[in-house]
C-alpha cells in the first residue's frame, strides 16, 4: 500500500505519521492488494482537525472524511469509516461473484441487498452553458444538476459542495 500525505495548517510530526500508518495497516487485513494507493489529507482550521482518506484500488475509490477537535480521534473515525465501507464493498463483491458462478440458488439462502433503486427519473438534456446550469440548480434547489454542455457537447454534472460552492464533473 502506497501512502501519500498532504497537510494544510498542520505540522505533521513523526508520531502523527506513525499513528496514521499504524491505523491504515488495518486495511491490509481487508484488502490484500500491494498496488493500492491511499491519499491522506490533513487540515487544521479553527482548532478542528479534518482528516480525509481516499483509498484507490483497481477500479474503485473509497473515501472517508472526519472532523473533530482531536487529531487522533479524526484519524480513528476516518479509518473506521473507511474500513466499514471497504468491508461492505468486499461483501457485495463476494455476493455478486457467487451469484454469477451459481447456476441456481438453494431455496431459503437468498441474500438481499439493502440498496435498491426506488425511483427512475427521465428528463430531456437541454444544451446550456455553465452559467445557465448554475441558475437552474439554484432555481430548482437541487443538490446536483445534469446538463449537456454547449461548449464541449458533453454531459456534465454540476453539484453543490459541503462548503457552499459548486463542483463540475466533466467526463474525460
3-state per-residue secondary structure call for the chain: CEEEEEEECCCCCHHHHHHHHHHHCCHHHHCCCCCCEEEEEEEEECCEEEEEEEEEECCEEEEEEEEECCHHHHHHHHHHHHHHHHHHHHHHHHHHHHHHHCCCCCCCCCCCCCCCCCCCCCCCCCEECHHHHHHHHHHHCCCEEEEEECCCCEEEEEEECCCCCEEEECCC
pLDDT 10s digits, 21-42: 999 988 888 877 778 889 999 9
The residue extents of the domains of the chain are 2-101, 127-169
Residue 93 CA to residue 111 CA, distance in Å, equals: 13
The CATH class for the domain spanning 127-169 reads alpha beta
Confidence of residue 154 (pLDDT cuts 50, 70, 90): very high
**Arithmetic mean of pLDDT, 12-25:** 92
Lowest mean pLDDT among 43-52, 110-119, 138-147, 150-159: 110-119
Confidence at residue 103, expressed as pLDDT on a 0 to 100 scale: 47
Confidence at residue 135, expressed as pLDDT on a 0 to 100 scale: 87
CATH number, domain 2-101, options 3.30.420.40, 2.40.50.140, 3.30.1490.190, 3.30.160.100: 3.30.160.100
pTM for this model (two decimals): 0.61
**Confidence check: pLDDT of 111 > 70:** no
**Arithmetic mean of pLDDT, 98-105:** 62
Confidence at residue 49, expressed as pLDDT on a 0 to 100 scale: 94
Confidence at residue 104, expressed as pLDDT on a 0 to 100 scale: 47
Residue 40 CA to residue 65 CA, distance in Å, equals: 10
Cell 500500500 found at: 1
**Confidence check: pLDDT of 108 > 60:** no
Confidence at residue 144, expressed as pLDDT on a 0 to 100 scale: 92
Amino acid at each position: 500500500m502506497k501512502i501519500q500525505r498532504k497537510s494544510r495548517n498542520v505540522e505533521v510530526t513523526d508520531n502523527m505519521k506513525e499513528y496514521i500508518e499504524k491505523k491504515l495497516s488495518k486495511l491490509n487485513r481487508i484488502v490484500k492488494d500491494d498496488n493500492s494507493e491511499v491519499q491522506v489529507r490533513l487540515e487544521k482550521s479553527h482548532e478542528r482537525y479534518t482528516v480525509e482518506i481516499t483509498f484507490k484500488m483497481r477500479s474503485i475509490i473509497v473515501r472517508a472524511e472526519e472532523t473533530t477537535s482531536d487529531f487522533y480521534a479524526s484519524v480513528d473515525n476516518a479509518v473506521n469509516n473507511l474500513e466499514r465501507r471497504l468491508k461492505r464493498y468486499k461483501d457485495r463483491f463476494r455476493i455478486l461473484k457467487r451469484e454469477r458462478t451459481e447456476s441456481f440458488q438453494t431455496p431459503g439462502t437468498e441474500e438481499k441487498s439493502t440498496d435498491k433503486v426506488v425511483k427512475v427519473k427521465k428528463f430531456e438534456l437541454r444544451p446550456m452553458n455553465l452559467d445557465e446550469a448554475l441558475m437552474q440548480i439554484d432555481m430548482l434547489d437541487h443538490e446536483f444538476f445534469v446538463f449537456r454542455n454547449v461548449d464541449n457537447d458533453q454531459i456534465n454534472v454540476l453539484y453543490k459542495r459541503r462548503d457552499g460552492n459548486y463542483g463540475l464533473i466533466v467526463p474525460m
